[in-house]
Structure 1
Amino acid sequence: MSAEAADPQTQAARHLSATAGEDLEDVKNQKPPAKRSAKDLTLEAANEGDEVAANEQEDDPPLSKKQKTSPSGASRFPASGLSVSRLVTDTVDAVKNVLTSSPIKDRSGSRGGLLSHIFPMPFGGAQRSRATPVRDGTEPAFLSLTELSSCTVGGKVLFATDEWFAAADNLLKEDAPEWREGEFTEFGKWMDGWESRRRRTPGHDFAIIQLGLPGVVRGMDIDTCYFTGNNAPQVGVEAINCPDLEKRIKALTSNPTRHTGTMGTRAEEQVIQDVTDLISQLTERDTLIHMDPLGPGYPDTRHNYFEVPLDSTHQQQPPVATHLKVNMYPDGGIARLRVYGEVKRDILDMYEKLQSGIVTRRSAREAQESGAGVRPDLVDLVSSINGGVALCWSDQHYGVPKNCLLPNRAPNMGNGWETARKKFRSPILTVGPDGTISNLVGNDWAIFKLAHRGCIELIEIDTNHFKGNFPESALIEGCDRPDLLDRDVLNQKELFERNTRSIQWKTLLPRTKLRAHERRYLALKDGGAASAEAASSSSSTDAVLEECGEVTHVRLTIYPDGGVSRLRLYGRPVA
């Protein structure tokens, strides 16, 4: 046996050649192909192809050297003069290139590499994606991080090339996508997402998204729900760091609002080109997804997860992003874009400005968000808009713990953290000497990373909307682990999940009774952080916060189960 015959790559190439030859012969003669060897079949296909080429019309131009092959070695087929032998030869070469090409083996973030060797299209390209598709059927860990893009935290669309069937603003809705059977608009089927018209001109569609919370992107969920036959086939995402990008885009046209948020519209070609040129000139850009396929919007394929890892492939951490450029290749629909990551905000600098009078009060959103008893110079150290993160928990049956850190009071019960009822409960409950139920079985807990190391002076626990399922009582503890703050947040999550019992916790709020549908304030004794009204009504058992010094993480424990809408930890950040 020759070395070439023993080579598995050559055998695979010959096998593909044989398959191609059989298909061509079968189509021509309309009869089952005879069993032949791969070598004989390849020769027969080549001879037959030469005969076909010879019998073509005399006025067909011959193949030029430039037409025969592309720079990558794959054939670029001309309009006429197609030779079957050329097809077979180029297919064999393409398969060999795929099997021996090291870039294909190195790429874990794109499925475009294989097709880019066979077809002359920019599928995969030379530019590498930072993000890695997650297609193993599991929910990735980054889903527990803060959603940076939601309209709830200020995310918005600055520009979209085409919004014919559905406006791009829908991408950032907090609610799950909706289906309306049989509902049509004057432009077509009503869809809950962003959908452009079927492109018949050069280029592709894209949108510019302003993140509500600037930060480091760690993962994305590109949801194509209900877009089953009209989803964007491929997507690309660029992270941009340009705080004044909205102002720059508005400067390109006197009426920029006509380009986004209105169904049945398309931006003018010159404006599209101006925006494209503007983005290309920005220096702080990072390709998160170069070009990757999207699954259709069926239940088992709608969630297209992309994780942005911190690995050796990229020598530096992902940069802070203020905006995203979302590319649909070439057109189609996407229902939701959910971007998860770490909020990057200089809490210490903000606090110093508050103390020095450079900033006299918090933002309007934070001022409205905080209660009347909260001093304006205190910072919510656990808020998601400042960088607080829910790391791990015991149960999230009805609502996730990270909801507790969202801005604004919850609109409904589903916008908080709620656990399942304990299966093994005492048949008759009794009251202990401290006023709490003494024979409750079990508890639930959640651990949060603070936005910055600090000293907590005031706690707000809000059971808004939890009227028949609020916790009987709550306990809050803290730990001071500044050595962990330099670690990746997902690494912190893993550490706390593995070592919850071994961590030394300090009591911040002793176990304290809670009440239904109530916003509670619990302050340090003589701390001055709350008004007299808030302090006097802080607890039916006169509980006050205990001084526990600096903390970096807190653990909220509820007895025995139930729901908490919001948790605020107001205090002073420390270096």
Structure 2
Amino acid sequence: MEQIPTTDIDPVFAHTTNLASCNLNSKVLACSNDYFASADNLLTPTLAVSRPGVFIHTGAWYDGWETRRHNSEPYDWVVIKLGVAAASIHGVEVDTAYFKGNYGEKAELQATYAQEGSGITDAQIADPSFAGWKTLLPASPCGPSQRHGWKFPIEVSQDPYTHVRLLMYPDGGFARLRLYGHAIPPSAPTLQAASAPIEELSSALNGGLALAASDEHFTPSSNILLPGRGKDMGDGWETARSRGAGHVDWAVIKLGLPGSVAKVVVDTKDFRGNFPRAVRVHGLVSGTADDGLPSADDPHWVEIVKGDKPCQADTEHVFEAGDLAAGGTDTQVFSHVKLTLVPDGGVKRFRIFGRRG
């Protein structure tokens, strides 16, 4: 178990996904107590905020999970079901932002794997008597109003998990829980390649990962891989305004499911005065990409969508059939894709649909 300095948490886990997010459909199944502030707040994808002087009927308003004082048990607990089919967890962050005289003094993380068809129900896992938990992080000290990160050894991160339980000793408040790792997609049905179903190869739910972007001034590129169409402009990807001639912005995505491409969707929902003038979509055929991070100017990028495609405000742009480049998008297996914004702006979602390779 390696504790990560606060300043290193983001770079250490840069190429992972925060699996403990309501945007990835993770949800709280049960908790011991959340009298002052809801345990659901742990899964809020944005940073915690402070509202000094704001009071509600239970007391001061807090953006996090806060339990009653004087817990008669050793700890308070919350059980969370991950929104993905299963996940590998590489590390955890417990953020006590704005909890100062009321933070939880120690955190412990447990996890379990309830394989589909195992007969183990969410209700059983949420019950305090459930005995199938594995400890990933032993009870570890936390301080007031700061981020605390731990990286797990490889023998922990290789195992699949579907549920986690966070213990807070003895009571108090945590602002956010972040679980850094990778989604494990559901198994593919046993079918002939031509009969394989069309799936969303790029989705974060299937392990899609935003590796790099030219600019993330307003919001991160990882948002474009989230399920659904989101709620507002804040859960898309938006770059700064460019001024130079010939400027473009780009994001490089590793597909969770390498495969052939049948359809591409670029959604500008909620982007009305700041959508890109046009977009380009390229891909890397499996085996041609750098094992680490392929560069945006890698010579092996090939067109998936033909040419620059004009965009409109607040619109789901669908490219298929004649919009796709001839010569193999439906037969070649792609491992990475690149979305280019001409010249800049914002998009809500970027979806690559096709068949697993």
| Superposition TM-score, scaled by structure 2 size | 0.87
Aligned partners of 1:500, 1:441: CA distance in 2, in Å? Answer: 15
Aligned partners of 1:354, 1:329: CA distance in 2, in Å? Answer: 54
Counterpart position of 1:327? 167
**Alignment equivalent of 2:149, drawn from 295, 298, 305:** 305
Identical counterparts, % of pairs: 32
Instruction: Write the letter of the residue equivalent to 1:506.
Output: V
Counterpart position of 1:121? none
Per-residue deviation, 1:443: 1.4
Could you say what secondary structure the match of 1:320 adopts? coil
Q: 2:184 aligned with 1:390, yes or no?
A: no
Per-residue deviation, 1:519: 1.0
Q: 2:88 aligned with 1:240, yes or no?
A: no
When structure 1 is superposed on structure 2, of 286-295 and 347-356 the one drifting more is 347-356
Aligned partners of 1:351, 1:421: CA distance in 2, in Å? Answer: 47
**Alignment equivalent of 1:209, drawn from 60, 70, 80:** 80
User: 1:354/1:524 Cα in 2 relative to 1: closer, same or farther (>3 Å)?
Assistant: closer
User: 1:502/1:462 Cα in 2 relative to 1: closer, same or farther (>3 Å)?
Assistant: closer
**Which structure: greater helix fraction?**
1
CA offset digits 1:237-270 (Å, max 9, x no partner): 11211253413157x6xxxxxxxxxxxxxxxxxx
Per-residue deviation, 1:317: 4.4
Per-residue deviation, 1:175: 4.2
8 Å contact from structure 2 (residues 201, 353) kept in 1: yes
Counterpart position of 1:520? 317
Counterpart position of 1:292? 140
Counterpart position of 2:260? 455
- Ranked by relative contact order (alpha carbons within 8 Å, sequence separation 6 or more), the top structure is 2
Aligned partners of 1:307, 1:158: CA distance in 2, in Å? Answer: 25
CA offset digits 1:411-437 (Å, max 9, x no partner): 2112111111224x2xxxxxxxxxxxx
Aligned partners of 1:416, 1:558: CA distance in 2, in Å? Answer: 13
Could you say what secondary structure the match of 2:109 adopts? strand
Q: 2:24 aligned with 1:148, yes or no?
A: no
User: 1:190/1:348 Cα in 2 relative to 1: closer, same or farther (>3 Å)?
Assistant: same
8 Å contact from structure 1 (residues 211, 323) kept in 2: yes
Aligned partners of 1:512, 1:172: CA distance in 2, in Å? Answer: 36
> Structure 2 matches for 1:382-421, cutoff 5 A?
382-421=202-241
| Superposition TM-score, scaled by structure 1 size | 0.56
8 Å contact from structure 2 (residues 266, 316) kept in 1: yes
CA offset digits 1:437-478 (Å, max 9, x no partner): xxx422111111112121101111111122222112221111
Aligned partners of 2:191, 2:4: CA distance in 1, in Å? Answer: 39
**Which structure: greater strand fraction?**
2
Q: CA RMSD in A?
A: 2.7
**Alignment equivalent of 1:476, drawn from 258, 281, 284:** 281
Counterpart position of 2:302? 506
Q: 2:271 aligned with 1:466, yes or no?
A: yes
Q: Which runs of 5+ in 2 are unaligned?
A: none
Aligned partners of 1:171, 1:452: CA distance in 2, in Å? Answer: 29
Per-residue deviation, 1:185: 4.0
8 Å contact from structure 2 (residues 286, 333) kept in 1: no
Per-residue deviation, 1:148: 1.6
Structure 1 ranges of 4+ moved more than 6 A: 350-354
Aligned partners of 2:50, 2:270: CA distance in 1, in Å? Answer: 27
Counterpart position of 1:122? none
Could you say what secondary structure the match of 2:162 adopts? strand
Could you say what secondary structure the match of 2:241 adopts? coil
User: 1:503/1:220 Cα in 2 relative to 1: closer, same or farther (>3 Å)?
Assistant: farther
Per-residue deviation, 1:234: 1.3
Q: Which runs of 5+ in 1 are unaligned?
A: 1-108, 110-131, 253-274, 357-376, 426-439, 485-490, 526-542
**Alignment equivalent of 2:130, drawn from 278, 283, 298:** 278
